[in-house]
């Protein structure tokens, strides 16, 4: 099961959202703190200004009435609030800031809660208490216009960042897909060189590597095909001359050797063939049944071949590819395995499987890694006349070219099994390519 967090885009998106959320939260907390401090400073300035204005009013125009909510109270009046013993921390800081702005010895008191907040101020030179209103000191509301703007800015920032992350991971995704195709042996078109400088350099290096590997592979295939093709004519003449020998024993030996050499040459040609299979797509179950039936009839001394075909009619592969896979695996099982040989197909949750297994001794664990390498024969058990060491290499190349994966190993201690898996998504491409060819 794929997890979004495993992808580059998922991790970039998570990182971007986390960083933006942290920065916006810190910004919002800073704004709230600054807003509280600003509100306190404004309240102090306003209260100090009112007290100074009242003093100037009393000194210059004592007969004029005071503004509403501003009054002078006699110190002996019973309504004077007592000395504040304990106050909330913001209110205590407010009183201290006001006292610092007043002359030395000024008394500053706050009216008890329950009514409009007022401040009582009396300097040593004042005859009465000066009572002025103060701005209520309260924390900003948790949900206000700041939060709305914060959400809008955060949303646009996340969308822009996700788009940037998507644009950054697209070249990497194209490169990863190209690497996957290259690993399966499929043709790899040049990957567009885009993105940051390091990514462009990586893509350029990959394109150069693919071109060099393709050029080397093509040169080897051309050389191998040329040598194999040139050998076919002398082998045909050699067989013709062997048929004309009088000594039957010598003739049969020479003919067997010529047939072995001809088989090796044909394997060379198949291995060197590197173009896409344009043959018609056929049902794998039906084709396996036909190939096994023909193999039983043609192969002399062939061991018992059993079939377990459960994939269904939706499992399609090119006919030529399937025939070459089955013929190479059946020949390999016939030459080195033991009966019974089982050809099986199945449908799984990931795709279709095709397997060929025998009941021989299998291959030693340390030799499995070399079993599918070209021109490698595992001596002494897997040598023999007429074999070039290309059978399993041809099967691996054909399976990967068809979009599948293969696995070779000893099956449950009963012999060698080659298991080929073809995902569902490769089958429509196989069928479409076949229909286009026709």
Say yes or no: 234 and 303 in one domain.
no
CATH number of 339's domain: 3.30.565.10
| Separation CA 81–CA 304 (nearest Å) | 112
Do 307 and 341 lie in one domain? The reply is yes
CA distance 72 to 58: 10
322 and 205 share a domain? no
pLDDT of 286: 92
| pLDDT at residue 98 is higher than 70 | yes
d(CA 205, CA 193): 10
pTM for the structure as a whole: 0.46
- Regarding whether 222 and 115 lie in a shared domain, the answer is no
Instruction: Provide the token pair at 331.
Output: 């020949």
Backbone angles phi, psi at 226, to 5 degrees: -65, -45
Choose the weakest-confidence range: 28-42, 52-66, 156-170, 329-343. 28-42
Domain boundary (133, 165, 198) is at: 133
In a domain, 164, yes or no: no
Q: Flag whether 168 is in a domain.
A: no
pLDDT at 59 over 70: yes
Report the candidate in 167, 238, 242 with the shortest Cα–Cα distance to residue 16. 167
pLDDT of residue 298: 66
Asked whether residue 353 carries a pLDDT value surpassing 90, the answer given is: yes
Residue 372 lies in a domain: yes
Q: What percent of the chain has pLDDT over 70?
A: 75
Judge contact between 433 and 276, C-beta under 8 A: yes
For the chain, how many structural domains are there in total?
3
Q: Where are the beta strands (DSSP E) in 285-380?
A: 305-309, 316-318, 341-347, 351-357
Residue that terminates a domain, selected from 229, 244, 275: 275
288 and 428 belong to one structural domain? yes
- Residue where a domain stops, chosen among 275, 291, 310: 275
Find the range with the poorest average confidence among 5-19, 177-191, 360-374.
360-374
- H/E stretch holding 281 reads strand 281-283
Whether 266 contacts 231, CB under 8 Å = no
Answer whether residue 339 shows pLDDT above 70: yes
Residue among 406, 328, 399, 408 at smallest CA distance from 369: 408
**Does residue 268 sit within a domain?**
yes
Q: Is the pLDDT of residue 273 over 70?
A: no
pLDDT surpassing 80 at residue 418: yes
Q: Which two tokens stand for residue 43?
A: 């309240």
Residues 284 and 412 in one domain: yes
Residue 207 lies in a domain: yes
Does residue 382 surpass a pLDDT of 60? no
- Asked whether residue 206 is domain-assigned, the answer is yes
Residue 418 sits in the same domain as residue 270 = no
Residue environment code for 186-200, b if the CB has 16+ CB neighbours within 10 A, otherwise e: eebeebeeebeeeee
Q: Is the torsion defined by CA of 321, 327, 328, 329 positive or negative?
A: positive
Regarding whether 304 and 244 lie in a shared domain, the answer is: no
- Three-state secondary-structure class, residue 132: strand
For the chain, what percent of residues have pLDDT higher than 90? 6
Domain identity same for 403 and 378: yes
Tell me if 199 is assigned to some domain. Answer: yes
For position 207, which CATH number holds? 1.10.287
Tell me: do 212 and 200 sit in the same domain.
Answer: yes
Q: Where are the beta strands (DSSP E) in 348-434?
A: 351-357, 405-410, 416-423
Q: Is-contact 318 434, C-beta < 8 A?
A: yes
Q: Does 67 sit behind a cis peptide bond, omega within 30 degrees of 0 on the bond before it?
A: no
Q: How far is CA 430 from CA 176, 177, 313, 314, 435, in A?
A: 22, 18, 15, 12, 9
State whether 236 and 116 are in the same domain.
no
Nearby residues of 87 by Cβ (< 8 Å), 6 or more positions away: 95, 110
> In 3-state terms, what secondary structure has residue 396?
helix
Instruction: Write the CA distances from 219 to 152, 185, 189, 207, 401, integer angstroms.
Output: 61, 16, 19, 18, 19
Mean pLDDT of the chain: 77
Nearest to 396 by CA among 378, 423, 369: 369
pLDDT of 285 strictly over 90 = yes
pLDDT attached to residue 356? 92
| Host domain of residue 23 | 4-133
Same domain, 343 and 261: no
Separation CA 393–CA 272 (nearest Å): 11
Q: Is residue 417 part of a domain?
A: yes
């Amino acid at each position: 099961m794929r997890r979004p967090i495993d992808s580059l885009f998922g991790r970039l998106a998570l990182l971007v959202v986390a960083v933006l959320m942290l920065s916006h939260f810190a910004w919002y907390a800073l704004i709230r703190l600054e807003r509280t401090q600003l509100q306190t400073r404004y309240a102090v300035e306003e209260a100090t200004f009112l007290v100074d204005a009242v003093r100037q009013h009393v000194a210059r125009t004592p007969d004029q009435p005071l503004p509403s909510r501003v009054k002078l109270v006699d110190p002996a009046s019973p309504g004077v609030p007592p000395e504040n013993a304990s106050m909330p921390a913001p209110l205590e800081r407010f009183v201290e800031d006001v006292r610092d702005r007043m002359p030395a010895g000024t008394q500053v008191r706050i009216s008890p809660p329950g009514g409009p907040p007022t401040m009582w101020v009396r300097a040593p030179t004042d005859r009465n208490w000066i009572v002025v209103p103060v701005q209520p000191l309260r924390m900003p509301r948790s949900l206000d216009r700041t939060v709305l703007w914060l959400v809008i800015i955060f949303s646009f920032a996340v969308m822009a960042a996700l788009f940037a992350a998507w644009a950054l991971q697209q070249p990497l995704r194209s490169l990863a897909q190209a690497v996957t195709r290259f690993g399966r042996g499929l043709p790899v078109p040049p990957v567009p060189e885009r993105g940051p400088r390091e990514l462009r350099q990586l893509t350029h290096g990959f394109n150069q590597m693919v071109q060099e590997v393709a050029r080397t592979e093509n040169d080897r295939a051309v050389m191998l095909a040329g040598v194999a093709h040139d050998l076919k004519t002398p082998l045909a003449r050699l067989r013709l001359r062997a048929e004309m020998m009088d000594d039957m024993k010598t003739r049969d030996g020479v003919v067997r050797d010529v047939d072995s050499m001809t088989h090796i040459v044909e394997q060379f040609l198949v291995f060197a063939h590197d173009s896409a299979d344009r043959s018609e797509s056929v049902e794998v179950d039906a084709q396996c049944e036909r190939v096994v039936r023909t193999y039983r009839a043609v192969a002399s001394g062939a061991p018992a071949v059993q079939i377990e075909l459960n994939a269904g009619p939706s499992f399609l592969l090119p006919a030529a590819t399937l025939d070459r896979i089955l013929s190479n695996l059946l020949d390999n099982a016939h030459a080195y395995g033991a009966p019974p040989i089982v050809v099986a197909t199945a449908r799984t949750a990931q795709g279709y499987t095709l397997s060929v297994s025998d009941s021989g001794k299998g291959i030693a664990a340390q030799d499995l890694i070399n079993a599918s390498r070209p021109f490698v024969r595992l001596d002494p058990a897997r040598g023999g006349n007429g074999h070039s060491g290309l059978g399993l290499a041809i099967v691996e190349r054909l399976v990967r070219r068809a979009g599948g994966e293969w696995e070779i190993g000893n099956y449950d201690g009963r012999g060698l099994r080659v298991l080929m898996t073809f995902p569902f998504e490769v089958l429509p491409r196989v069928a479409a390519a076949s229909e286009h060819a026709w």
